[in-house]
Amino acid sequence: MVPMAREGPLAKTVTGWEIYPVGLHRFLTATARGFTGELPLYVTENGMAAPDTALRAGWIEDTARIAYLARHLEACRATIAEGVPLKGYFCWSLLHNYEWKLGYDARFGLVHVDYDSLRRTPKASYHTLAAALERP
């Protein structure tokens, strides 16, 4: 169940954006009840910028992103349990992207991109999400 009350200051991403999964739940619920009725809803971009920590060659740890995704997916599950026709959730983003204000400084992707070599390394969040999607 998603807690409905805020408790203290909100955590923030490295870009300074607040992390508030309850807000996603509230928005989806209000949108379904107020505007869409039975039309399906899709979360088309949800993710965060977080620091990437290379623990060893080929492994990028991003526990903050894993926790972020887990909390937001729990909010989505709670929303669905309440009857909201949420049919899809898309992570933002597969690869690091160029942000109009931040350039390439913020790392949003599930896959780390080394800008010098262009090598792509799936992060721990990528592997965690892939494993979750394989479960029945």
82's CB contacts (< 8 A; 6+ apart) are 29
Residue 6: predicted pLDDT: 57
Alpha-carbon gap, residue 100 to 1, rounded angstroms? 36
Count of CB atoms situated within 10 Å of the CB of 117: 7
pTM: 0.88
pLDDT by residue for the chain (136 residues), tens digit each? 454 555 679 999 999 999 999 999 999 999 999 987 779 999 999 999 998 887 777 889 999 999 999 999 999 999 999 999 999 999 999 998 888 888 888 999 999 998 999 999 999 999 999 998 887 6
Residue 51: predicted pLDDT: 85
